[in-house]
Structure 1
Amino acid sequence: MLRIAVQSKGRLFEETMELLEEAGIKLNNKKRTLLVPAKGFPIEVLFLRDDDIPQAVATGVADIGIVGENEFVEKNEDATIVKRLGFSTCRLSLAIPKDEDYQNLGWFEGKKIATSYPHILKQYLQQSNINSEIHVITGSVEISPSIGLADAIFDIVSSGGTLVSNRLKEVEIVMQSEALLIATNHLPGEKQAILDELIFRIEAVQTATDKKYIMLNAPEEKLDEIIGVLPGMKSPTVTPLATKGWCSVQSVIDDESFWAVISSLKSLGAEGIIVLPIEKMIL
């Protein structure tokens, strides 16, 4: 049995649960408790605070964990990054009152900065040769300048809406962050095998993200041009139709280029275009 630590609430929790469900990991207990086994897969889910996950994995309380890169770097625990997951993206940034005149990092010299990430901030300031006072705070860091607790803040930024509502502006991006799959060092062989299977399933889900399966009828005289528009994972599948001079073409396209591809296909005479979502993709 492999134990995975995940965040107990918030956006990372929701996106992690969605990923696990798509990978076929369904929990036995709908009423969430601290430790919940899965159905049909040898894994159990341990729900923790996000900042407790790195230590839980490093000490072997959990075998693996899904955690924000910001928390993993801040806690600086001895665990291994197994896979970058690409969701729950954000950034750690320095922000100051919006009316301040900001030219460069020198503005922070001698200033007091409120943050929940003192380790990352200290390293950044040292590398930049800036002497600032770091004020560690949990909770609503963004209100610190308005109540006179600090001159600036160092905190997570996603959309930037929270900064705007607190009359702050982002002036320096220190690091980008995303969800990570981490593991304790030296997993036993049987647990490593379970982890390998889990990674295989996650990659199948992620490969299918933002991709569409497309089927269409194409005139044979335009087939080479249509294939040029529709490269598949190796090449499109082409099948002759009962109607002479026509064939069926099947392929996979990226969602980003979807409308441009459809327009090109129609201009080349493609008909009966059918587009389907892809749930999983095994390469």
Structure 2
Amino acid sequence: MRLRIAVQSKGRLFEETMELLNEAGIKLNNIKRTLLIPAKDFPVEILFLRDDDIPQAVATGVADIGVVGENEYVEKNEDAEVIKRLGFSKCRLSLAIPKDETYDGVKWFEGKKIATSYPHILKTFLKKENVKSDIHIISGSVEIAPGIGLSDAIFDIVSSGGTLVSNRLKEVEVVMQSEALLIANKELTAEKKEILNDLIFRIEAVQTAVNKKYVLLNAPEDKIDEIIDILPGMRSPTVTPLATKGWCSVQSVVEDKRFWEVISNLKALGAEGIIVLPIEKMIL
């Protein structure tokens, strides 16, 4: 028995999903031009689909679970369960208007034509804001619609904002934030739930290690209490005596964002022989 995972067939979400699965020990053979591929040493198989087909595939049982952008999950409104927020492929869904227009609030969109590939999300937002607009559903390059006279504004995915700038548009309202989600069919068997739990365990071990470093150092015994205060481990640092009297070896984990601050403080307390190692996996 294998757990079938629906994955986007191309693009940034595909690349980041495959990287996560690889780090979690899910190894695949050549994936080019193949729709369904079994993993080598773990009971899963990967089904490659268009991103907007994944919510329905999971809801109907064509796939057991799927990795999909939150934007597509909310837009399709299918009956699938969100299992885990994955924290990558982040973007936002925003309203944008021509650069030279003066924007004075959401009421600007009253009576305007808005081009989008996300009509459900947009309708929900406009209803909440009590704004009536003409929604023009379009696939492909939504951002060109105002420039060719097809619409007055657009509602689309924004990452860096560079595409808006190149089309002389400006972002005026962020409607929702989006990231990759792990979703599941609500009728998974007990056997498939067990495989899913094992997969989640592996994913969390990979994600826990992100942006963390393992630090080993030598420190004077009379400074250990101060060092422990600035160098916490997952519970507490590991401290062991050295052969040299009055010195200890200390091991701990440090987040990247605090790394240089912590190292500077350690040196000020007399720490020596500081070794920093990357962490591949971390089991809590």
Same fold per superposition (TM over 0.5):
yes
C-alpha RMSD of the superposition = 0.7
Shift of 1:100: 0.6
Aligned to 1:162: 163
Q: What letter matches 1:89 in structure 2?
A: K
SS across alignment from 2:6 = strand
Structure 2 distance, partners of 1:260, 1:164, is 37
- TM-score normalised to structure 2 length: 0.99
Q: Does 1:58 align with 2:88?
A: no
Aligned to 1:74: 75
Aligned to 1:234: 235
Aligned to 2:262: 261
Aligned to 2:184: 183
Q: What letter matches 2:204 in structure 1?
A: E
Which piece of structure 1 moves more, 27-36 or 245-254? Answer: 27-36
Q: What letter matches 1:56 in structure 2?
A: A
SS across alignment from 2:61 = coil
Decide whether the 8 Å contact of 2:227 with 2:269 is kept in 1.
yes
Aligned CA distance change for structure 1 residues 247 and 188 (closer, same or farther; 3 Å): same
Deviation by residue 1:157-182 (Cα, 9 ceiling, x = unmatched): 01111111111110000000000000
Shift of 1:282: 0.3
Shift of 1:31: 3.3
Structure 2 distance, partners of 1:135, 1:193, is 44
Structure 2 distance, partners of 1:61, 1:34, is 13
* Paired residue total: 283
Q: Does 1:216 align with 2:217?
A: yes
Aligned to 1:42: 43
Deviation by residue 1:109-129 (Cα, 9 ceiling, x = unmatched): 000000000000001001100
Decide whether the 8 Å contact of 2:97 with 2:154 is kept in 1.
yes
Q: What letter matches 2:121 in structure 1?
A: I
Aligned to 1:119: 120
Runs of 4+ in 1 over 6 A off after TM superposition: none
Structure 1 distance, partners of 2:104, 2:221, is 62
Aligned to 1:24: 25
Structure 2 distance, partners of 1:86, 1:10, is 17
Structure 2 distance, partners of 1:26, 1:196, is 18
SS across alignment from 1:180 = strand
SS across alignment from 1:273 = strand
Q: Does 1:202 align with 2:214?
A: no
Structure 2 distance, partners of 1:32, 1:219, is 60
Structure 1 distance, partners of 2:162, 2:269, is 45
Structure 1 distance, partners of 2:147, 2:233, is 55
Structure 2 portions without partners, runs of 5+: none
Structure 1 portions without partners, runs of 5+: none
SS across alignment from 2:130 = coil
Q: What letter matches 2:92 in structure 1?
A: R
SS across alignment from 2:92 = strand
Shift of 1:29: 3.2
Question: Equivalent residues in 2 for 1:241-252 (5 A)?
Answer: 241-252=242-253
Q: What letter matches 1:196 in structure 2?
A: N
Structure 1 distance, partners of 2:235, 2:187, is 37
Q: What letter matches 1:21 in structure 2?
A: N
Shift of 1:255: 0.6
Structure 2 distance, partners of 1:57, 1:30, is 21
Deviation by residue 1:231-266 (Cα, 9 ceiling, x = unmatched): 100000001111111110000011110010011001
Structure 2 distance, partners of 1:260, 1:194, is 41
Structure 1 distance, partners of 2:168, 2:222, is 62
Structure 1 distance, partners of 2:47, 2:155, is 30
Structure 2 distance, partners of 1:282, 1:15, is 21
Decide whether the 8 Å contact of 2:31 with 2:37 is kept in 1.
no
